[in-house]
């Protein structure tokens, strides 16, 4: 009896349950070592499949973690850009406020000089200085 014909007989009769039952009932039969080998190979295949499934799950988890990491980096970069824009805007607002203050002072001086001219204070001041 060769491996292929023994495996075919085991598969035709029900596979693993048949191999377990046959090996337990007929320990001295020439098919029994093939039953044990068949069971060993099926167990090895099942373990390999379970390992591959665990590895696939681990790879998916790693891919999700990397994706989350990239999203977090993009969010941090956007926040940094927003902070830089806010800082630039604050500097511009500070400059604008300074020049607005200068314009207000100049306007106030213009109002005072205009009032002095209209009220004749400058003529009176010129008269006193002479």
Cα separation, 109 vs 113, in Å, equals 6
Cα separation, 9 vs 24, in Å, equals 17
Q: How far is CA 58 from CA 35, 44, 47, 51, 63, in A?
A: 34, 21, 16, 10, 9
pTM (predicted TM-score)? 0.42
Under 8 Å between Cβ of 7 and 38: yes
pLDDT band at 120 (very low <50, low <70, confident <90, very high): confident
The tens digit of pLDDT for each residue in 21-34 reads: 878 888 888 888 88
């Amino acid at each position: 009896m060769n491996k292929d014909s023994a495996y075919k007989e085991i598969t035709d009769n029900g596979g693993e349950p048949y191999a377990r039952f046959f090996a337990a009932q007929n320990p001295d039969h020439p098919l029994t070592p093939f039953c044990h080998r068949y069971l060993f190979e099926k167990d090895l295949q099942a373990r390999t499949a379970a390992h591959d499934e665990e590895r696939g799950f681990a790879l998916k988890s790693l891919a999700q973690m990397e994706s989350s990491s990239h999203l977090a980096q993009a969010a941090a970069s956007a926040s940094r850009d927003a902070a830089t824009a806010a800082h630039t805007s604050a500097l511009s607002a500070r400059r604008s406020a300074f020049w607005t203050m200068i314009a207000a002072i100049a306007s106030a001086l213009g109002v005072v000089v205009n009032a002095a001219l209209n009220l004749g204070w400058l003529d009176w001041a010129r008269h006193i200085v002479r």
